[in-house]
Amino acid sequence: MQKNEEYIIEITGYTSEGSGIGRINSIAVFVPSAAAGDVLKVRILKVKKNYAFGKIIEIITPSPARTQIDCDSFNQCGGCVYRHIKYEDECKIKSLKVYDAVKRIGGIDLAPAKMIPSEKQNHYRNKAQYPVSPDGFTGFYAFHSHRIIKCSSCPLQPEIFDKITSACSNWAVKNKISIYNEESHTGLLRHIYIRLAEQTGEIMVCLVINGDTVPFKEELTDALKDICKNSLKSLQLNVNKEKTNVILGKECITVFGSSYITDILCGVKVRLSPLSFYQVNRTTAELLYKKAAEYAEPEGKTVLDLYCGAGTIGLSMSHKAKKVIGVEIVPEAIEDAKFNAKLNGTENAEFICSDASDAAEQLALRGVSPDVIIVDPPRKGCTPELIGTIADKFKPERVVYVSCDPATFARDAKLFGEKGYLLREYTPVDMFPRTSHIETAAWFSLK
């Protein structure tokens, strides 16, 4: 196999990132935007020792899973990977992805429960962060790059976001606001960041800047008021002067309205600042949290919620639980969690700012004995030390694991198994339709 040569190939499966997989002379070839069942003519772009990357030149026989692509930026943008596939087929792919990880990495041959699909496949995101190009247009980064792909209307975002980004871009061009350059670390405007509280309709607009302020703030405020009407509750500046790929800095300055907006999730009022963690698909997040509560059976029990963020999972169970203890390492998130508990009149919740492993050790020394432990770790999963503390010192009846990465979930499921906790059931939940990402809620209990 040689670079730039063309081959006929049949696609038989998918990578974890959503590319199609076929074989040429027993060598795996990864082809973006391909579907299992396709027969394709592909051009080889890169050849490694045991695999290669190809590009579709012609679809000779289309897969039955294919559907009409409804986004002009799909083949360039790094966001969606399954927009060319029917949604029911996407759900099958994702459910199989989780099962494959659990079996192959975790060594557990247990099929998943029926997947929970997203009620909406488009316009479901309540948050977007748009990089700004030197020419003033907004868009999203190409796959595995920081090259901005122009996108005036993303199908995943609420339609009002298109009007807001257009207004911000027009304001920046008109007033000659300099655009941030990653290489030279010069320029003012880095990102346009928008949040929507779906249940209340409140909107927050935040400009991420490489400086302390922006000129012509009143003009921008007026333009956004014209678009959002009374829904505009907050216009903020986020100061990020660091030479980094991290989008947000630590300082926020309120230009108009409040420093936060409020949404409702599982009956819980939630304060959202620019720095707050919040699930981007609110409707499906409710289904995920209800499944977690079903697995936790929190009635009359002490619930320890590790990696609690703004406290949303624990607070959603607090009306049934005897006590909820939330742990999170991000100080702003803990402040949000405490505020949210007060906002909802919740008196049986305690929130601790600490690393999950350290807090678990301290709580064990305090003699805290949770009946249920919930873990909702970042993509890297739990540490072996934390799993050891949970299993050896707390010994809860149940562990509920909310995962955003099948591979690390499967790895941790194996570690929990070695510590005496059996994976009883797990349910894939599609929080991110059309992308490669998939959440999983799982229940472990002592053998």
DSSP class of 132 = B
DSSP annotation of 186 reads B
CA 311 to chain centre: 17
Give CA–CA dist 323/266, Å, rounded.
Answer: 18
Q: Are 430 and 91 in contact (CB under 8 A)?
A: yes
Strands 398-403 and 439-446: antiparallel
Q: Are 46 and 53 in contact (CB under 8 A)?
A: yes
Q: What share of the chain is helix, strand, coil (3-state, %, to 5)?
A: 25, 30, 40
Whole-angstrom Cα distance, residue 213 to residue 247?
Answer: 17
Torsion, Cα of 145, 147, 150, 154 (10° steps): 20
Nearest to 236 by CA among 271, 220, 162: 220
Evaluate whether 420 touches 105 at the Cβ level (below 8 Å): no
Sign of CA dihedral 84, 87, 88, 92: positive
- As separate numbers, helices (DSSP H) first and strands (DSSP E) second, the chain gives 9, 21
Q: CB-hemisphere CA count at 13 Å for 252?
A: 21
Q: What are phi and psi of 179, to 5 degrees?
A: -100, 140
CA distance 244 to 182: 8
The residues that are catalytic are 404
